[in-house]
Amino acid sequence: MHSFSAILRDTLLEVRDRKVFYVYWALAGLLVIAILLLPNFKIDGHEMLQGDTIPQEMIVEGTARFMSALFGFFVFLLVFGSAGLIPAFLQKGRIELSLSKPISRYRLILLKFSAVYLLMAIILTGTVTLIWLAASFRLGHVDTGYIGGLLIYLAQFLFIYSLVFCLGVLSNSGAASIMGYFIVRIGTDLLAGRKAIYAFLGDSVWRKILDGLYHILPKYGEVTDNSIPLMTGKEMISSYPIYSTFVISVVLVLVALAVFHRRDY
């Protein structure tokens, strides 16, 4: 526990020094102010931002879509904010000092992974929850379905950060981690829509290749397809993207651990 506290404190200080911490909260504050100061408008004499004049289903659906977009935006920012933390930790001079302490390499890098994810999860939860509270207050409606969406996006960022973490250990570069993530993200999003070209492929080998790639690669976009149904009180579209991406993420973390353990610093 003492080791994790020390690594967590070191990570927090690094995030604060990079000013990333303040950027997230500043953006959240601006959005809260914008929502609270949003001018009302009327249709047929009814104020449309008053919850009692809008159908309940419309409020729930609209809030869910707004929160889903907001979650996606902050996860996008968190990728940039977290990508450079592992390469910075592995810099010469700093990593030697960490390795000189009585802690195994596996535990050291795994605690660093956990510390970064925990801080980013706190930032995501805190900033978006503030905005959700402001929107709920403005609409006069509080929907606890938001919690389901929050859990989905916390899971998505955990999966994403597993890839970013692995790329950071392999490349020692924050920029390479970011580029690698976006290449994988774009590719997997395209694979998710592979059925659109099945009619042109027929039963060719390319169809089997695309299916194989789909199953062995993470499905970040499809994980969050479940967020709006959960926030609107409906059932999940599919759990397969979640548990398959979880398995792939575990493999990525294990690869990073093995590389870090064998690398000569």
Over the chain (265 residues), what is each successive 10-residue block's mean pLDDT? 83 84 90 82 47 63 86 93 92 85 89 95 94 85 84 95 96 94 92 77 78 90 90 87 95 96 84
Within 8 A by CB and 6+ apart from 89, the residues are 95, 98, 112
The secondary structure of residue 196, as a DSSP letter, is: G
Give 68-73 contacts, CB < 8 A, sequence gap 24+: 68/149, 68/224, 68/227, 68/228, 68/231, 70/31, 70/128, 70/131, 71/124, 71/128, 71/149, 71/150, 71/153, 71/224, 71/227, 72/153, 72/224
C-alpha radius of gyration, the chain, whole number = 21
Structure pTM?
0.89
CB 168 within 8 A of CB 87: yes
In this prediction, residue 232 carries a pLDDT of 86
b/e 96-122 (16+ beta carbons within 10 angstroms → b): eebeeeeeeeeebbbbbbebbbebbbe
**Would you call 261 helix, strand, or coil by DSSP?**
helix
Distance between CA atoms of 61 and 217, rounded to whole angstroms? 31
Neighbours of 42 (CB within 10 A): 11
Distance between CA atoms of 192 and 25, rounded to whole angstroms? 33
Phi, psi of 154 (to 5 degrees): -65, -40
The domain spans of the chain are 2-262
b/e 135-151 (16+ beta carbons within 10 angstroms → b): bbebbebebebbebbbe
Type and span of the H or E element at 190: helix 174-192
In this prediction, residue 19 carries a pLDDT of 79
- Among left, alpha and beta (phi > 0; psi -120 to 50; other), residue 54 is beta
Type and span of the H or E element at 37: none
In this prediction, residue 18 carries a pLDDT of 80
